Amino acid sequence: MKKLINSPADLVTESIAGLGAAFSDLIKVHFDPNFIIRADAPVRDKTAIISGGGSGHEPMHGGFVGRGMLDAACPGAVFSSPTPDQMLEATKAVDGGKGVLYIVKNYTGDILNFEMAADLARSEGIEVEAVMIDDDVAVKDSLYTAGRRGVGTTVLAEKICGAATEAGTSLSDVAELCRKVNASGRSMGMALTSCTVPHAGKPTFELPEDEMEIGVGIHGEPGRERTKLKTADEITKILLDPVLEDLPFKSGDQTLLFVNGMGGTPLLELFVVYRKAHRILTEKGIGVARSLVGPYMTSLEMAGTSITVLKLDDQLTRFWDAPVLTPAFRWGI
Amino acid sequence: MKKLINSPADLVTESIAGLGAAFSDLIKVHFDPNFIIRADAPVRDKTAIISGGGSGHEPMHGGFVGRGMLDAACPGAVFSSPTPDQMLEATKAVDGGKGVLYIVKNYTGDILNFEMAADLARSEGIEVEAVMIDDDVAVKDSLYTAGRRGVGTTVLAEKICGAATEAGTSLSDVAELCRKVNASGRSMGMALTSCTVPHAGKPTFELPEDEMEIGVGIHGEPGRERTKLKTADEITKILLDPVLEDLPFKSGDQTLLFVNGMGGTPLLELFVVYRKAHRILTEKGIGVARSLVGPYMTSLEMAGTSITVLKLDDQLTRFWDAPVLTPAFRWGI
């Protein structure tokens, strides 16, 4: 196992310590339990947003903490849910009196622990709502999920909902907005290679040199099928067709096109995928009004990509464009 | 070879087409010869800046084109210098009447071709200066270089000099500023794995499972030595000690600390390296006033990192902080 780490046991704590040192103007890192909050938390009279999940998907979620996006992120061990006590402590640290929204990717551990944290927070008098993201069209159920998995739309929901809370949106309204974003986004991913979880010390799965996994999950969970390698254009179509058919997206729609890198795929290649995806959408009369390309929701060093398409309206576009100041997203400020 | 490409021959052209489609508000892409210019080029009465080099290092340089950074980038084939005609055409496209600065990483092909382009541009009446970046302390000469290689300081020079030209700095003054940045920055890198150049179809070099290359170049050129794998903290010290001794950096200095990812190393790990580097500097009384962490100057999917330390003064800090709006850097606007 070739990794820049000291020990698997210290990896997450040391990494968030580095994140905190690098961005001490934007965020504060709390240890034991581990969570990351914006530097000026709690923000009085603003609805707060918390997300979290297993580590290994960076910059998600710690890199999304800051003005205009998340108030806190709770990182678990690599590919493991954070615990309810982490979430509860983060909730208490960011609640500004208008309640807290949990944005939860649909994985069984995350769902259970965020539910438990919500109950604990409510018993301490903090209003909490939880919204689940389940945008992955690849499979119905999976290794760690009942129902669809939560993937790329999570990134977009956190940006859009974060902007809404900056604009004064209430807890119930931002929860409704988050459900709308989830209902408007669809994703599918693929892997060329596995990743290696540090504690395991060996690749999560084995892929022959001439094969790929279509519909892979962000923890290396199996997808729809293993097939022979294909060209980037063919792979793009294989991912995008089910995404577009599912909502369905149709001619005249305006969209945000998000080509995500799984961690080990060069940007050079992601833009080849973006080019083809943009063409497919354009040929169908679907407008690409906004774009995001890069490794935002990764699976350690896995090589591969996922494509997310989000149907935009004026409200979602305005909140996407709104100022944001976090380690991973910063514009307009 | 597992890559998201259609063919090695089309890779760069298709990738910059994707870049142009994703960021059509910021940049324009010209094909045959290939170059990327800011959308509003040429900017009248502003000194222009061009950089370029082999592809495979994205987001460098195409992702750095835009307001506050580069006026144009010339991408060559993967790990191959762009040609003088590319550079000449880019020069004509961005010259706003105050001349053009070439920021050139020290690789023999790049140096020769940018010199030739400068001669051609001057013969067409465009004032040109070229400044070489040679900040890599790992080796004196290398496979593709006489003298030190140009690495991480290039990214910082392009940001700082770009800001200076937005503030009205003349060609000769921005060239002097660029030499100052180069003189103030030092870097060293390492690799855990090789990368695979698409045309070659196989890894550039072989590294046993328990070894790493210290002082590696951004094309996989040999560095100082191959050693057994060590912990992240040990590796960080191995990279940082020669960087600090070379300038030398000393107690009381203020610095920008840049931990760069080579492409295949997760952000989770880069922050472990950053944490240790920040500690080493702090223990020596060297201040870390600014930070940059992420894959900005990559080597395709190589796993590894490089550390760059730049000595700051008020001028460099002010230009680093200045607004920038490019695909890879965007803040303050």
pLDDT digits (tens, 9 = 90+) for B166-225: 999 999 999 999 999 999 999 999 999 999 999 999 999 999 999 999 999 999 999 999
Q: List the beta bridge partners of residue A290.
A: A256
The verdict on residue A323 lying in a domain is: no
Q: Does A239 touch chain B (CB under 8 A)?
A: no
Would the pLDDT of B51 be above 80?
yes
Tokens 């949106």 label which residue? A169
Q: Among B18, B229, B330, whose Cβ lies nearest the Cβ of A2? A: B229
Query: If we measure between CA atoms, which residue out of B331, B332, B330 comes closest to residue B65?
Result: B330
The verdict on residue A325 lying in a domain is: no
Q: Write out pLDDT tens, residues A72-129.
A: 999 999 999 999 999 999 999 999 999 999 999 999 999 999 999 999 999 999 999 9
Q: Does B235 touch chain A (CB under 8 A)?
A: yes
Structure token pair of residue B146 = 């006489």
Contacts of B68 (CB under 8 A, 6+ apart): B159, B162, B163, B166, B322, B323, B324, B325, B326, B329, B333
Q: Are residues A256 and A199 in the same domain?
A: yes
Q: Are residues B284 and B295 in the same domain?
A: yes
Q: Are residues B86 and B179 in the same domain?
A: yes
Q: Does B66 touch chain A (CB under 8 A)?
A: no
The pLDDT assigned to B217 comes to 95
Would the pLDDT of B92 be above 80?
yes
Q: Among B183, B216, B234, where does a domain finish? A: B183
CATH number for A234: 3.30.1180.20
The pLDDT assigned to B292 comes to 98
Q: Are residues A279 and A305 in the same domain?
A: yes
ipTM of the complex: 0.97
The verdict on residue B259 lying in a domain is: yes
Q: Does B55 touch chain A (CB under 8 A)?
A: yes
Q: Are residues A199 and A291 in the same domain?
A: yes
A30 is catalytic: no
Q: Are residues A42 and A145 in the same domain?
A: yes
**From A30, A61, A199, A219, active-site residue:** A219
The verdict on residue A3 lying in a domain is: no
Q: Are residues A137 and A235 in the same domain?
A: no
What is the pairing mode between strands A287-294 and A254-261?
Answer: parallel
Instruction: Report phi then psi at A160, rounded to 5.
Output: -70, -45
Q: Are residues A173 and A203 in the same domain?
A: no
Is the CA virtual torsion B100, B103, B107, B110 positive or negative?
negative
Q: Is the peptide bond before B59 cis (omega within 30 degrees of 0)?
A: yes
The verdict on residue A322 lying in a domain is: no
Would the pLDDT of B285 be above 90?
yes
User: Do the Cβ atoms of A291 and B192 come within 8 Å?
Assistant: no
Contact yes or no for A183/A148 (Cβ under 8 A): no
The verdict on residue B323 lying in a domain is: no
**From B30, B61, B219, B278, active-site residue:** B219
The pLDDT assigned to B95 comes to 98
Would the pLDDT of B333 be above 80?
no
Structure token pair of residue B199 = 């045309």
CB burial class (10 A; 0-12, 13-18, 19+) of residue A195?
buried
Count of other CB atoms within 10 angstroms of residue A307: 26
Domain that includes residue B153, residue range? 13-183
The pLDDT assigned to A107 comes to 96
Q: Among A126, A153, A183, where does a domain finish? A: A183
Element containing residue B276 per DSSP (H, E): helix B267-283
Q: Which residues of B touch A233 (CB under 8 A)?
A: 6
Quote the pTM value.
0.98
Residue B170's alpha-carbon distances to B46, B71, B98, in angstroms, are 8, 15, 7
Element containing residue A8 per DSSP (H, E): none
Q: Are residues A49 and A25 in the same domain?
A: yes
Count of other CB atoms within 10 angstroms of residue A242: 16
Q: Angle at Cα B301 formed by Cα B181 and Cα A289, nearest 5°?
A: 80
The verdict on residue B268 lying in a domain is: yes
pLDDT category at B153 given cuts 50, 70, 90 is very high
Q: Which of A34, A199, A271, A329 to mutate against chain B (most B CBs within 10 Å)?
A: A271
Q: Angle at Cα B16 formed by Cα B148 and Cα A230, nearest 5°?
A: 105
User: Do the Cβ atoms of B274 and A18 come within 8 Å?
Assistant: yes
Strands (DSSP E) along A123-176, which ranges? 128-133
The verdict on residue B258 lying in a domain is: yes
User: Do the Cβ atoms of A266 and B19 come within 8 Å?
Assistant: no
Q: Among B154, B183, B212, where does a domain finish? A: B183
CATH number for A155: 3.40.50.10440
B199 is catalytic: no
Structure token pair of residue A194 = 């596995």
Q: Does A202 touch chain B (CB under 8 A)?
A: no
Q: Are residues A177 and A208 in the same domain?
A: no
**Calpha distance B279→B283 (Å, rounded):** 6
The tens place of each residue's pLDDT in chain A, 333 residues long, gives 999 999 999 999 999 999 999 999 999 999 999 999 999 999 999 999 999 999 999 999 999 999 999 999 999 999 999 999 999 999 999 999 999 999 999 999 999 999 999 999 999 999 999 999 999 999 988 778 889 999 999 999 999 999 999 999 999 999 999 999 999 999 999 999 999 999 999 999 999 999 999 999 999 999 999 999 999 999 999 999 999 999 999 999 999 999 999 999 999 999 999 999 999 999 999 999 999 999 999 999 999 999 999 999 999 999 999 999 999 999 986
Q: Name the residue in chain A with its Cα closest to that of B10.
A: A272
The pLDDT assigned to A235 comes to 98
Q: Are residues A121 and A158 in the same domain?
A: yes
Number of domains in chain A: 2
Q: Are residues B124 and B33 in the same domain?
A: yes
